Every structure is written in C-alpha cells, then in structure tokens.
Structure 1
Amino acid sequence: MDLQTLTSMNWGIMAPEFTVLGTALLLSLLDLFMPREKSRRILGILSAAGIVLALAFLFLQFSHEPASLFHDMYRLDSFSKAFKLILLLGTGLILVLAYDYKMDREEEYRGEFYYLLLTALLGGLIMASSADMITLFIGLELLSLSSYVMAGMRKRDKESNEASFKYVVTGGISTAITLFGMSYIFGLTGETNLYSIGNALRDMSILQNQFLIAFAFIITFAGLTFKIASAPFHMWAPDVYQGSPLPVTAFLSVVSKTAGFALILRFFLLVFNSAPGIKGDPLLFQVQPYLAFLAGATMIAGNLVALRQRNVKRLFAYSSIAQAGYILVPFVSVSAMLFETTWFYLLAYLFMNIGAFAVIQEVTAHSKTHDISGFAGLYRRSPWLAVAMTIFILSLAGIPATAGFIGKFGIFMNALGASQGHYVLAGILVGTTVISYFYYFNIIAQMFFRPEHQEGRLQHKKGLLLVTAVCAAATVILGILPGTALHFFYEQFQLTDFFQTMEQK
C-alpha cells in the first residue's frame, strides 16, 4: 500500500479510535516522565477528557453515511455506532468511579490503570467496527490483554494475583478455542471478511460440508462465550471479579461484556445468517436448542449460586453471569427485534450495574469489608446511597418502573413472539428472575432493617456522587419513559445498512 493510497483514505471515520489511542499514548508518556511521588489523578482527568472528545466525534458521525476502510475490514455503520455509544459511556462513568478509588500501596500504579483502561476500550471499539476475522481478533486480544493486566493491578495482593493468573489461563484457552473455530471457517470458505464468508457459505459446493459448518459455529461460539461469562464457561468470573480492583470489576462486568455481545452479534449474523444446516434448514434455526440450553443454564447457574454468596463482589459476579443468560435469550429466536432488544438491555445494564458498583465502592471503603453485612444500617448512615442502591437493585431484579424491567420484558416478549415460541426458556427467565429476588432483596434488608455495625455518616466523594446520581436518574427515566432511548435508537441507527451491504456483496 503506497503513500498516496494511505492519504486518500477517509481516516475521519476512525476519529473516536484515534482519540482514545492518542490519549492512551499521551498518558503513558506523562506517566513515564512524571516524578514518582507526584499524584497520578491528573491523568484520570485527561482520560475523561479523551472519552468526552471521542463521544463528541461519535455524535458527529451519527449522520455519516456507511463507510469502510481496508477493503471492508473496518466499518462505520449503524451497528458500530450503537455499540460504541455504550462502550464510551460506560468507560467514562468508570473513569469517574476510578478517580475516587483508593489504591493504598499501589497508588503509584494508578497511571498504568488509566491508559490500560483506554487500550482495553480501544479493543472494544475495534470489535464493534470490525467486519473481518483478523481485525475482530486484534480487537478482542487488545481488550483481553489489557484486562488481564488490570485485574492484577494490586500487585501486592494475593487475591488480585490469583485473579490475574486465572483470567490469563482461561482467556488463553478461550482464545485457542475461538481461533480453532475460525480456522475451520477460513478453511471452508478461503475468506476472512465476514460479508464474503456469509456469501461463500451460500454456495452449493459448501452443502457437502454442512457438518463442518455446524461444528465451526459451535466451537467458535463456545470460545466467545468465555468473554461474556456464559455457562458452562463462567467459572473464571467470580474469582476475577473478587480479586480485581472495583473499577476493573465494573469494567469487566459492563464494558467488556458489551464488546463481547457486539462481536457475537456481528460475527454470527453476518457469517451464519444464511449458512445451511445439516439437514438443509438454516443453521441458526438448527442450533436454537444449543443456544437455548446455554441461555437457560447461564440463568440458572448464575442465580442459584448467587444465593449462597456473602462477598458482595462475588454476588455481583454471579448476578452478571445471570444477566448474560438473559441477554442470550433473544439470540435463540433470531427475530427482527434482536438488535434493539439487546442494545436496550445493555444500555439499561450499563447504568444499573455501574451505579451499583459506585455504591459498593463507597460502602466497602467505609466498612473495610466486602461482606454483605457492610451494608447494614446504610439508610441511617447515608439515606441517599441507600435509596440509590435500592433503585439499582430493583432494576437488576426487573421490578416495574425501572430500566431493568423494560429490558427483561422486551426479552420475554422476544422469546414468546418467535415463530416457534420458546415457552420453556421464557419460563426459566421468569423463574430465575424470581429466584434473584432472594439475594437482591437481602441487600435491601441489610440497608433498611439491620442494625448498623459502624457509627457515623459516610463522607461522600464528589465523583461517586456524580456517577450514582447519573445512573439512578437514567435507570428511572429509562424505566418510566423507555421510548426516549428506543426513539433515539430508531432515529439514529438505521440498521438496514448493516444488511444491505451483506446483500450487495
């Protein structure tokens, strides 16, 4: 590729990615040359400024026509814009959360955390825009490798070391499995571009390899389910969530999970949307029992094991596993509402989960324990935090007038509204949601009905108050006026360009 070709490319469509990359490089240089005793909190402010600038570029791209770079390896379309919005919003809130996080003996590594967080975000942004297996894998590994290091940021803490080690091992296994599945796809089609692969799988000559197509789907999907912590590949999540610094736990729970679902959506709808199954029917319909089993097992495992948890970070790890099961339900039916249902629930999950982690960070820092008993008497020590945490918990539990209820209702109707209604899966969704009330409401009972173990009111930090207020307001607004987000989605993200390009290839 010569210089003239490089300069003629429309690099402006990658403005959010270049902004995040430039900010990360700037932070790494500043951190390198700053005096050791100098506080690194200023780097957090610069990180947040970079996220705001990237968001501004993204909003300017909403009216931009679909475009691509590197022969369709990177695409700017409605799909990528929709998921980039969630990724940038989530990372921005986590940066504010991290600004007030006390790292104790590891304070000198705060600068590393900021630019590692941005490089992980960069990987997620690349995943959202990738239309080629090569760039998908690059984005996935950039996100994963940065996350491995962030999980072990507390270098003198045994739990953090264990979390990082387990994450590296399981992540390496998932990467190997994913590449194994992708190798079959490349071997069958001779292509790495997702649109080209989708068209190649329609070829009649592929029909003699139907079993290999189904095998490639199952293997690749199994590898990617590690990233979203879906059963039976979820056992890394509780230990990693518990041992990681709390802002990292929030990032893994929300931003990393969102990037994983964006990858799965784009990969399998483009590659396997028209792939033939073993008996001639479309592959995505033949693998519905497999996907339904994964979704059901994830909801059941996450909610049942959460009942026995006392450590609040482990509890929310299993809660996050259960939430992954809920989001997998629309994938079973592959209906026309798959995109908006998944996007809305991930948006709602962003606010209710990051808000909950903001309260957890405040409470655990004051009580010096991660046990649920640390929430005892919170209403008397800080009525505002208790009320906000109640809002987040009610939303996670799917109680009406919250964003979580609207999201779960959409998923429930998606399961029932399919051509072949998945009534058992919908029943599991309702049943496991009821089970979740036991451990969610136990936290509410601690806050309002248990005697406080520590005296004195909590001293609120401004950053945590800001994150809590924004998330609580968004959770309530999306629950009462869900049309605001859905109208924005339908107005800004015309997903027809996602499929039109596939048809033109």
Structure 2
Amino acid sequence: MDMDTLLSYQWSAMMPEFIILGVATLISLLDLFVGKRIKHSWLGYLAAAGVIGSFVSLCLLRKGLPVTILYDTFRLDSFAVTFKFLLLIGAFFTLLIAIHERSDEIKHRGEFYYLFLTALLGAMMMASSGDLITLFVGLELLSISSYILAGIKKSSLRSNEAALKYVITGGIASAIALFGLSYIYGITGSTNLLTISEVLGENQSYEFIAVLAFLLVLVGLTFKIASAPFHMWAPDVYEGSPTSVTAFLSIVSKTAGFVLILRVFLSVFANVPMLQKSVTFLYGMQDYLFIVAGVTIVIGNVVALRQKNMKRLFAYSSIAHAGYVLVAFAVLSPFMMDAIWFYLLAYLFMTVGAFTVIHIIQQQQGNDGITSFAGLYKTSPYLAIVMSGFLLSLAGIPGTAGFIGKFNIFLGALATSPTHYVIVSLMIIATVISYYYYFGIFTQMFFRSAEQERTYRVPRVLLFSTFLCLGATIILGIFPNVAYQFFFNEVHQFKDFFN
C-alpha cells in the first residue's frame, strides 16, 4: 500500500477509536512516569473524559454513512453507530463505579483504566468489523483485557480463581470460534463478510461444511454472552471480580457479544439459500437458536433461585436476559434489530444502576450477600427506592423499560409465521419464576431488620449515576418512542448493512 492510498482513506471514521486509544496510551504513560505522585481517581476521570470525547465524535460522524476504509475491513455504518452508542454509555457508567472502588479492590489503578479502555476499544472494533480478521482481532483485544481485569485483585484467591476460569474457558471458546471461521475462509477464499455471503450464495455445494462452521462459530460466540450451556464461567467470574469489572462484563462485554453475533450471522448467512429447504440458511438453522435460547432462559432463572450472593444472583439473571435477547434474534422478525437494540439499552440502565447500588453497599459493609440489603429502606431510603426501580425493570413489571423490552420480543415471536407459541410460553413462565428471586431482595430491603444500624455515604458521582439510570429506566418504560424515534432516525432500516 503506497502513501497516496493510505492518505486517501477517510480516517475520521475511526476518530472514536483513535480517541480511546490515545487516552489509554496517555494513562499508561502517566501511570508509568508519575504514577506515585498523581491521585489515581484523576486517571479514572481522564478515562471517563476520553469516553465522553469518543461519544461526541461519534455523534458528529452520524451523517454521510456508510464509510468503509482499509479495503472494507472497517465499516462505519448505521449498525456500528447505534451499537457503539450503547458500548460508550455502558462504559461511562461503569467507569464511575470503578473510580470509587476501594484501594484494596483495585490497587493498580493505572493498569485498570488503560486495560478497561483497551477492552472497550476491542468492543468498538467488533461493531465496525467488515472482515473476519478485524473481527477476531477486536474479539481478542476485548477478551484478553477482560481476563486481566477479572484478576486485577492479585491478592484475592477468589479473583485469581475467576481469572483462571475465565481465561481457560475463554481461550477454548475463541479457539472453537476461530476453527469455524477457518472453515468459512476455506470454502470461500475470502475474509470479507459480504464477499463470503456472495460466494456461499453462488456455490451451495459446501452446505455441510457451512453448517458445521455455523455451529462452531455459534458455540464460540455464545460463550461471550454467557448463554447456556457455555455459561458456567459467569457466576464465579462475576463473584470474584471487582464490582466495576462485573458490571463491565455484564453490560459492555455482553453487548459486544451480541453485536458480533448480529454482524457475523446476518452478514454471512442471512441471504444464503439452503439446498434442501426453500428458506435462507439462517432460517434453516433457526431450531438450533431456539434450543440455545430456551435452555439459557430456563437455566438462568431456575438456578438463580438458589443464590445467596448478589453477584452470583445477577450472573444468572444476566444469563437469563441473554436468553431473552437470543429469542429476538432466533425468531428473525421484521423488527428484530430494534427489539434487540432497545432491550440492550434498557438492560444497560437497569443493570448498571443495580450494580452501582451493590457496589455502594459492598464497599461500606464488606459483604455482597443478599442479607447485606436487610433493612436498607430504614438505613438508606434513597438506595432502597432506586434499587426497587431497577429490580422492577429487570423483572419486567409494566411502566419500566424492562417490560417494554420483553413485550417487544413477545410481539416479534407472535408476529412471525409460524407463530412461536412454545418459546413465548417459556419466556412468560421464566419471567414469573424470576419474580421470586427479584422480590426476595425486596423482602430484605423492606421487611427485614439490619443486623447493624449504619448510615450509607453515597458519593455525589454515584448519586448522579443512579438518578440518571433510574430516570432512563422509567422514561423508557413510559415513553419508549423516545428511544425508538432515535433508533429509526439513525438506522434507516439498516439499508447500508448489506452493501
């Protein structure tokens, strides 16, 4: 590639990524040279400022889409923009939690912040990947950084165990996904996603290998979203990691996983016909997606009933919510994209808000068991009320964003032909089951007495964070068109996704 070609690219399309990369590099240099003389919370605010800067630059790039550079390996289209908004918002609120972690939770603050930004950079690259190579590079950038973040508490045995389990299972999942991607490259001779789709559509003699590749990639990517039966790492990793890392894995990493699933499967398999059926390849594999989604919903909600640790409970709750989103993907309804995007947006606010409350209580009690919430309404009415709002939304109670998200998935499953009554019934039953463990936290907060009376000190930043998250959860539940109007104005029905 000559210099003229290199300079001809519209590099401004990567400005959000350049900002994150620049701030991560700056934090690493500051930590290296003046780490002992600088207040480490300043590094956290610098990281948050970088996320805000990236968000602003993304807003300025919304017009004139799509933009492709580097031989279509990097795509800035409406899909990438809308999902990058979710990644950046989730990362910002998670950073606010990290800034207020105790020093014994995160001793190496500089390392934490630039690894955090590096993981975010990998997630953003995944959203804009137009090629298998950049896609896998982004996946590994996110994964390797996440492995280190999970074990950032070096002196904690639980943290060491979490990191070890995460890196072993994550490495196996990445290898399986790469194995499937290698089959796709082998039968098409290309790593470009759209070219792969064209070649598969023209030559259907490799259908068996394509099915094998589909299943291998599905196994590798469902690990990232912690769906059953590849979910066993999640409870231990969530429990052993600092709360900010747990929130990051539950929100940013999970959103990135769904972005990757949508980008790969819709780009490659959505328009490829099957030989034995008069449907596209993705419709032909629909039953496998329903099995994964159904098992994930059941396991997540049923096993959560036995949990006594808040992080483990929310790990299984996160698994169940991954199953709900997979249902929206599996039914392949006409409004699949907006249902998934809205659900991930609602999940972002209610989950980061809940983890912020868990973080405040854990920091001041040193305990993350469910009983640590006993008597919270008397000791801190504000925390009890905001936590109630997040729990109601997670449970899918009307008037909250979580209800609208689930309701749209129900409609998607009922609007297709044939109608998917079984998976809808399963979702309803599982949602009712979830009331038991969510309302068990209500019981602790409002109907149990605290073993020790204490006054909770809520930092102003976290007070502001929980207020924003609760406000967004309620507004999106009452006026969901606020989000949908933004979505439809941005995506233009994703006309630029397949070209």
Residue identity matched to 1:84: K
The unaligned stretches of length 5 or more in structure 2 are none
Aligned to 1:152: 151
Q: Tell me how far 1:499 sits from its aligned partner.
A: 4.1
Indicate how the Cα distance of structure 1 residues 456 and 496 shifts in structure 2: closer, same or farther if over 3 A, else same: closer
Aligned to 1:102: 102
Residue identity matched to 1:94: T
Q: In structure 2, how many angstroms separate the alpha carbons of the residues matched to 1:296 and 1:283?
A: 21
1:273 aligns with 2:281: no
Mapped contact 1:99–1:463 kept (Cα < 8 A): no
SS of residue paired to 1:75: strand
1:367 aligns with 2:365: yes
1:321-332 alignment to 2 at 5 Å? 321-332=319-330
SS of residue paired to 2:75: strand
**1:229 equivalent among 226, 230, 249:** 226
Q: In structure 2, how many angstroms separate the alpha carbons of the residues matched to 1:327 and 1:307?
A: 21
Mapped contact 1:376–1:446 kept (Cα < 8 A): yes
1:381-396 alignment to 2 at 5 Å? 381-396=379-394
Residue identity matched to 1:156: S
Aligned to 1:120: 119
Aligned to 1:335: 333
1:241 aligns with 2:238: yes
Aligned to 1:24: 24
| Stretch of structure 1 that moved more, 326-335 or 354-363 | 326-335
Aligned to 1:197: 196
Indicate how the Cα distance of structure 1 residues 213 and 72 shifts in structure 2: closer, same or farther if over 3 A, else same: same
Q: In structure 1, how many angstroms separate the alpha carbons of the residues matched to 2:173 and 2:493?
A: 30
The unaligned stretches of length 5 or more in structure 1 are none
Residue identity matched to 2:384: A
Residue identity matched to 1:209: Y
Aligned to 2:425: 427
| Stretch of structure 1 that moved more, 76-85 or 93-102 | 93-102
The percentage of aligned residue pairs carrying the same residue is 53
Q: In structure 2, how many angstroms separate the alpha carbons of the residues matched to 1:307 and 1:128?
A: 34
Aligned to 1:143: 142
Q: Tell me how far 1:495 sits from its aligned partner.
A: 3.5
Q: Tell me how far 1:63 sits from its aligned partner.
A: 1.7
Q: What TM-score do the two structures reach when normalised by structure 2?
A: 0.98
**1:439 equivalent among 428, 437, 441:** 437
Q: In structure 1, how many angstroms separate the alpha carbons of the residues matched to 2:415 and 2:323?
A: 18
Q: Tell me how far 1:278 sits from its aligned partner.
A: 5.3
Q: Tell me how far 1:36 sits from its aligned partner.
A: 2.7
Aligned to 2:309: 311
Q: Tell me how far 1:343 sits from its aligned partner.
A: 0.3
| Stretch of structure 1 that moved more, 85-94 or 412-421 | 412-421
| Stretch of structure 1 that moved more, 81-90 or 362-371 | 362-371
CA RMSD of aligned residues (A): 1.1
Indicate how the Cα distance of structure 1 residues 460 and 307 shifts in structure 2: closer, same or farther if over 3 A, else same: same
1:78 aligns with 2:78: yes
Q: Tell me how far 1:105 sits from its aligned partner.
A: 6.8
Q: What TM-score do the two structures reach when normalised by structure 1?
A: 0.97
Q: In structure 2, how many angstroms separate the alpha carbons of the residues matched to 1:4 and 1:263?
A: 32
Aligned to 1:476: 474
Mapped contact 2:377–2:384 kept (Cα < 8 A): yes
Aligned to 2:160: 161
Q: Tell me how far 1:3 sits from its aligned partner.
A: 1.5
Q: In structure 1, how many angstroms separate the alpha carbons of the residues matched to 2:372 and 2:111?
A: 30
| Stretch of structure 1 that moved more, 311-320 or 56-65 | 56-65
Residue identity matched to 2:269: F
Residue identity matched to 2:42: I
Q: In structure 2, how many angstroms separate the alpha carbons of the residues matched to 1:317 and 1:180?
A: 28
| Stretch of structure 1 that moved more, 455-464 or 421-430 | 455-464
Q: In structure 1, how many angstroms separate the alpha carbons of the residues matched to 2:38 and 2:73?
A: 42
Mapped contact 2:35–2:110 kept (Cα < 8 A): no
Residue-pair matches, total: 498
Indicate how the Cα distance of structure 1 residues 134 and 296 shifts in structure 2: closer, same or farther if over 3 A, else same: same
SS of residue paired to 1:362: helix
Aligned to 1:496: 494
1:417 aligns with 2:415: yes
Residue identity matched to 1:284: L
Q: Tell me how far 1:276 sits from its aligned partner.
A: 2.9
Q: In structure 2, how many angstroms separate the alpha carbons of the residues matched to 1:117 and 1:106?
A: 12
Q: In structure 2, how many angstroms separate the alpha carbons of the residues matched to 1:66 and 1:464?
A: 37
SS of residue paired to 2:495: helix
